[in-house]
Amino acid sequence: MDEKTIQKRLKKTIIFVAGIIIMLLMISGLLITFLKNTMTDAANTQMHYETVEYKNRLFKQIDADFQNLNTLSSFIESSHLTTAHALAPMLQKANTYNAFITMGYFEKNGTGAMAILDEAVRTGVDVSTLDEEVIEVIEKAWNGERSVSKLFESQAISERVFVYGVPICKGDTIVGALVASDHIDIFTDIISGNGVLGGDGYIHMLGSEGKILIRAQQDVIEEQMDTIFDGPYFNPNEVENVKNSLDQQETIFSSFQYQGVTYQFLLEPVGLNGWYLLCVSTTQESSRAVYRVIRVMGMTFAGILGLILFLLFYGYHMIQKSNRDLIYLAYHDQLTGADNLPRFRQNLANALEQGHSCSVAALNVHQFKFINEIFGSEQADRLLCYINQILKSRLLPGEYCCRDTADLFYLYLNETKQETIFTRLREVIEEITRLSGGGHGNYRVLLYCGVAVFSGHSQENYDANSLITHALFALASARGSYSNNIRFYDSQLHRQETQENYIVSHMHQALQSGEFRLYLQPKIDLSTDTLGGAEALVRWITEEGTMLFPDQFIPLFEGNGFCARLDLYMVERACCQIREWIDLGIKPVGISVNQSKLLFFERSYIPSLRALIAKYDIPANLITLEILEGLALKNIEELNAQIKVLQEIGFCVSMDDFGSGYSSLNTLARLHIDELKLDRGFLLESSSGKSDRSRIIMEQIVQLSKRLGISTVIEGIETSEHDRLSKSLGCDFGQGYYYSRPVSAAEFNLKYMGYDAADPDTD
């Protein structure tokens, strides 16, 4: 390398380094200026907040003094005394019990009485003989104003005071003025403490002309001054402008130097009589320190430059490493080391944008929560790590997997044939299942899987979210079978998903627009073969005229809690129907309405039922509330307490589907219900002739219910044989398709109540 090249490179290096030095010097200067301005702004802000706080304290003191005067004025106004001479003893007594120096009352005729502390009260005092400031306050009070005077030298007591004044009324007429004087020293304790700015400041109180009214003890200026213009606060050239600003009641931020130290200060108007608060920050800021910092920066610049260069290279290396770590944490699961869902979704979106045919599988472990609780979190974590290892080992080039949360895994497969996908996933699941023989005793790990397939030539507008959602929907449909199960998202699941989305998104609107219709199924009195009541059943008829049956939407409503609102709505529809029968002069029959567990124990449940009965003005005993036996499994005492309140109102309570779950005669004995509805399973078993035991049990339940005073209803009567059997067993009521399917309210009224009327649900 020749010298010219070296010189050129050296020159470039020098220029580069010089540029860096100049840039750093500029940055240092800007930084120092910024720091200085920041400190100044912070000091100004703190002084502003501090003075506002002390202003508030001053006004609280003034308001307290006015409160004392207002209290005395109220006594004067309510008394029968009307002249200053008559009020003189009251003034003198009041003056001895408060902090005022003098108190006076002056009638509008210009005379009055004045009480001076430690002196006899004066009567017949002419207003014109008083100080000008006092006369001004009295005249304002005569005009209905309360006011505070400026500070002045009182002729009466030869002291500097200020005066309060309030009007005195008799009825709606102002008859006089009540005045009181006090020293300005009452404010001394407020502003002369050592807590100003946390001990780093002090406050003077000034008049509008700059005269110091109250002097703080912590004043850094040793010379005694009458006004702020006598000291170092302002240059002579600034005095005139400052006085104009004081006259205009403007806020002034500034600084001054005293004995080589710079201090920030604030002049803040009090908002009364032209008074000001002068707040001085005693935090010392020496300009010499700034120059010292600059010199130190210059002397150590070479070292700082080397350090900065080192830190730049080191920082660059650390930033690269940190970025790698952050990216890993952002896109990986910390437990298994697998990709997480954001990374999986990102990769899937890229694949779909490129039109790749693929499939997404969602994989779950049956009863993973049970595994976590029984075998412990450590074993559960090992299982998750093992699943991740198996999934990765089964992936082909271009495929990937991830763990989302808990035991939920996703796989991206370059396959679209269901047979191939099924075979691959079955092999994966079987390999994972074999883990049960390796440390969990007889427990066998089972998995279920949902798959959504996307063809690159599909006409459907798929995106990553849609594909994952469809895989999850298929996963949910595979959950029911407690075995290794794989379910593909297909047209049937698509229709089910579409319907569920429609149900969830339209349920509130449907309730508001009356799409949930009241259907009634008659309950037949088996002793007379006549109508003994009806059960309210819900049908959802959409705006398009499509009918949705309860098994299509009730399970969803029970999951999202909407069933509570729907149950109350059906109670209201039943109340409305009964009210219609009563208004038409038709003897009403009772209507049973199903009530969900979620609603039954709500705090507002019983008040809502009371409100409905009151709204439609119907007897409560015409409404039977049907509950499921599952309500009684946990707390029979609490359930009985709720039933008792309902029965006291007049409602009947029925247990529905008795025998379909975990029924016991002990539950029946302890539960204070009015009606028992036997599940249709009893009837099917008894009528088939295959089980005499079922008939015996059913007969005994009916007889036991009668002895307990509980009426019985048998459901599912579909044949004449069912009807005869139910009657022979002694059941009170029968219900089923043998008598009638559930019909609309209008059809029920026409067939059973003998009149033709519009369906109230269509109004």
Element housing 675 (H / E): strand 675-678
Both structure tokens of 176: 């006089």
CA 302 – CA 350 distance, rounded (Å): 51
More confident residue, 13 or 401: 401
Alpha helices in 79-187 (DSSP H): 84-96, 132-142
DSSP label at 499?
Answer: H
CA 281 – CA 205 distance, rounded (Å): 15
Neighbour count for residue 4 (Cβ, 10 Å): 8
Give tens-digit pLDDT for 551-564.
888 888 888 889 89
Choose the most confident range, by mean pLDDT, from 127-141, 200-214, 458-472.
127-141
Instruction: Tell me the pLDDT band of 286, cut-offs 50, 70 and 90.
Output: very low
Q: Write the CB contacts of 359 (distance below 8 Å, at least 6 apart in sequence).
A: 412, 413, 415, 416, 421, 451, 452, 453, 454
Residue with the two structure tokens 């003998």 = 754
Calculate what percentage of the chain has a pLDDT beyond 90. Answer: 29
E strand segments, 33-134: 102-107, 111-116, 122-126
The type of residue at 291 is Y
- pLDDT at residue 82 greater than cutoff 80: no
CA 396 – CA 527 distance, rounded (Å): 73
pLDDT of residue 537: 95
Question: Please, are residues 733 and 592 in contact by the beta-carbon 8 Å criterion?
Answer: no
Instruction: Tell me the pLDDT band of 711, cut-offs 50, 70 and 90.
Output: very high
Instruction: Tell me the pLDDT band of 683, cut-offs 50, 70 and 90.
Output: confident
pLDDT of residue 391: 93
Both structure tokens of 579: 């009210």
CA 446 – CA 410 distance, rounded (Å): 17
SS3 523: strand
Both structure tokens of 477: 């449909």
C-alpha torsion angle, residues 714, 715, 716, 719 (rounded to 10): 30
pLDDT of residue 763: 45
CA 32 – CA 34 distance, rounded (Å): 5
CA 679 – CA 735 distance, rounded (Å): 11
- pLDDT at residue 9 greater than cutoff 90: no
pLDDT of residue 474: 87
Both structure tokens of 629: 């036996």
Residue range 170-186: mean pLDDT, rounded: 84
Q: Write the CB contacts of 271 (distance below 8 Å, at least 6 apart in sequence).
A: 55, 249
- pLDDT at residue 2 greater than cutoff 50: no
pLDDT of residue 195: 67
CA 550 – CA 566 distance, rounded (Å): 11
Both structure tokens of 72: 């005395």
More confident residue, 464 or 187: 464
pLDDT of residue 420: 92
CA 589 – CA 525 distance, rounded (Å): 12
Give tens-digit pLDDT for 428-475.
998 888 865 555 556 778 899 999 988 866 545 678 888 998 899 888
Residue range 688-709: mean pLDDT, rounded: 82
Give the helix, strand, coil percentages of the chain, each rounded to 5. Answer: 50, 20, 25
Residue range 25-44: mean pLDDT, rounded: 70
Question: Please, are residues 537 and 487 in contact by the beta-carbon 8 Å criterion?
Answer: no
Q: Which of 536, 527, 526 shows the shortest CA–CA distance to 654?
A: 536
- pLDDT at residue 297 greater than cutoff 60: no
More confident residue, 240 or 425: 425
Residue 492: Cβ-neighbour burial (10 angstroms; 0-12, 13-18, 19+): exposed
- The number of angstroms, rounded, from the C-alpha of 642 to the middle of its chain's C-alpha atoms is 31
Residue range 389-417: mean pLDDT, rounded: 93
The type of residue at 145 is E
Instruction: Tell me the pLDDT band of 17, cut-offs 50, 70 and 90.
Output: low
- pLDDT at residue 42 greater than cutoff 90: no
Instruction: Tell me the pLDDT band of 291, cut-offs 50, 70 and 90.
Output: very low
SS3 628: strand
SS3 19: helix
Give tens-digit pLDDT for 571-625.
999 999 999 999 999 999 999 999 988 888 888 999 999 999 999 999 999 999 9
The type of residue at 462 is Y
Instruction: Tell me the pLDDT band of 312, cut-offs 50, 70 and 90.
Output: low
The type of residue at 9 is R
Residue with the two structure tokens 């259907």 = 519
pLDDT of residue 236: 81
Give tens-digit pLDDT for 652-682.
999 987 876 555 677 777 889 999 998 887 7
Both structure tokens of 462: 């798929």
In this predicted structure, which of 302-311, 318-327, 368-377, 747-756 has the lowest mean pLDDT? 302-311
pLDDT of residue 523: 96
CA 384 – CA 549 distance, rounded (Å): 41
CA 461 – CA 470 distance, rounded (Å): 13
- pLDDT at residue 40 greater than cutoff 80: no
CA 639 – CA 597 distance, rounded (Å): 11
Calculate what percentage of the chain has a pLDDT beyond 70. Answer: 84
What are the distances in angstroms from CA 103 to CA 6, 157, 287?
97, 12, 54
CA 748 – CA 746 distance, rounded (Å): 5
Residue 33: Cβ-neighbour burial (10 angstroms; 0-12, 13-18, 19+): exposed
CA 166 – CA 66 distance, rounded (Å): 8
Q: What is the chain's length?
A: 763
pLDDT of residue 294: 47
pLDDT of residue 32: 65
CA 35 – CA 557 distance, rounded (Å): 62
Choose the most confident range, by mean pLDDT, from 129-133, 156-160, 460-464, 742-746.
742-746
Residue range 350-379: mean pLDDT, rounded: 88
Question: Please, are residues 207 and 275 in contact by the beta-carbon 8 Å criterion?
Answer: yes
Question: Please, are residues 552 and 538 in contact by the beta-carbon 8 Å criterion?
Answer: no
Cα-atom radius of gyration of the chain, to the nearest Å?
A: 46
Question: Please, are residues 463 and 518 in contact by the beta-carbon 8 Å criterion?
Answer: no
pLDDT of residue 252: 86
More confident residue, 359 or 97: 359
Q: What is the mean pLDDT of the chain?
A: 82
Per-residue b/e over 565-593, b at no fewer than 16 CB within 10 Å? ebbbbbbbbbbbbbbbbbeeeeebbbbbb
pLDDT of residue 585: 94
CA 744 – CA 756 distance, rounded (Å): 12
Rounded to 5 degrees, what are φ and ψ at 388? Answer: -60, -40
pLDDT of residue 521: 96
Both structure tokens of 81: 């005394």
Both structure tokens of 751: 């067939």
Residue range 300-322: mean pLDDT, rounded: 62
Instruction: Tell me the pLDDT band of 528, cut-offs 50, 70 and 90.
Output: very high
CA 656 – CA 641 distance, rounded (Å): 19
pLDDT of residue 638: 87
pLDDT of residue 516: 93
